[in-house]
Structure 1
Amino acid sequence: MKLPKLQQHKELKHAVDAKELYRSLGLNTAHWAKWHARNIDSNEFAIKGTDYQGFTQWVNGNKTQNYLLSIEFAKKLAMQVKTEMGERVRNYFLECERRMSPSITQQPAVALPQNYIEALEAHLQAVKEKTALEHQLQISQPKIDFHDTVAASSVLVTISDVAKKLNMSAQALNVKLIELGVYDKRRLPKKVFNHWFLQKSYGQMKLTKQGRDRNLITQAGQIYIIDLISEQMKLVSGKEAV
């Protein structure tokens, strides 16, 4: 397998050729146009100029679309391909990032205490920081345990179930999910989960006995939605307070 080469780029710093990445992942070259349209052009979590930059090129007399990707974005695309080649490419990018990160010897030196008083103050500050960290961990641990337990569960819940936990109506939650891109806006008014939401195993779409679509949320999806909307509510309430 030939790994994609890194190249210098003014905005992206170290860029990856998208077509080289595509070939390295062992994907069908005939599906390139469909793949880049779905994973790059229509990717709601990819920012043009930060994660990628598009350009056209001529190959064998044919005009084709290509992209330069940031290492971070290229790594995410590789992670979506759940094959051995996808894992190898992902590890390759991780190693590239590790080698490009500043080494320990390049970090600024910490000033050493010059006398007993300074040493005592430094020790006291270290104790304070450790105590504060342990206290924060105690506060966060119940939430961490809850998230781990819920995420491991295979139970599916409805939109109404999630809405109740947020003290919202199912209708209001659906409006939020449309705004956040959980639903495919191109399919409205029919509520169809976006590809990325299904791919992350956040939700499932099933048919009822009457042949109607039913949107169900996995436990991992429930955590994602509750955390995201709760954080959004905090931001809104904070702005109103100001």
Structure 2
Amino acid sequence: MEELIKVKTQGDTQVVSARELYKGLEIKKRFSAWVSDNFKDFIEDIDFKGVLISTPFNPKYPDGKQQELQDYAITIGMAKELCMMSHTELGKEYRKYFLELERKWNDPQEVVKRGYTILQNENARLKIENQAMKPKALFADSVAASHTTILIGELAKILRGNGINIGANRLFQWMRDQGYLISRKGTDYNMPTQRSMNLGLFKIKESTITHSNGSVSISKTTKVTGKGQQYFINKFMKINETA
């Protein structure tokens, strides 16, 4: 069947452009006057819906300056009635075309095919939503085996990026309160506890500092391992879920 007019699908409804139908029927009066005379017996948002289209000011230069025109997306049912109202041979031809479109649209095989497509799209949408709903902690899995260590302040930034409202100072305090870092004041303050080291959550980076008087001291910095990053992100996500 030769295509007389472009047909689009909106939801479970076939629609055509009122301007394209107006042009195809070779209506002599202005488009706005044709709409005013013929649309009054139809219901907006059920039979038709207003849309804006862009079209060139000069058809000879399609890539030139554009203008916006009022158009309408009309249902096939409304299009058939407009064809009859035209009382022309072209109207009869277009109506016959729309009747054939409806017949194919309502064919049981086509109905089943559309239903199957809708089901596939719905399953794909649900799959995407389910992926999005999984705890963001899952993204930390990739760092579990990483050899890259980070500072506790950097871990706080990662936690904030995962929706946990915590800063570096509060994270240090929480780790001391929970027994991951040494809380007693002294040279070991904020160093990992033996329990943390056994779990592989931290590494201690030692740096040699040479002072201006020639003396040398050792600086120790607590850094979070890849396993530790995963461990703490998962832990905070679980806390956040139950909060």
TM-score range, shorter chain: 0.3 to 0.5
**TM-score by structure 2 length?**
0.38
Higher strand proportion:
2
**TM-score by structure 1 length?**
0.38
Higher helix proportion:
1
Which structure exhibits the higher relative contact order, with contacts defined as CA atoms closer than 8 Å and separated by 6 or more residues? 2
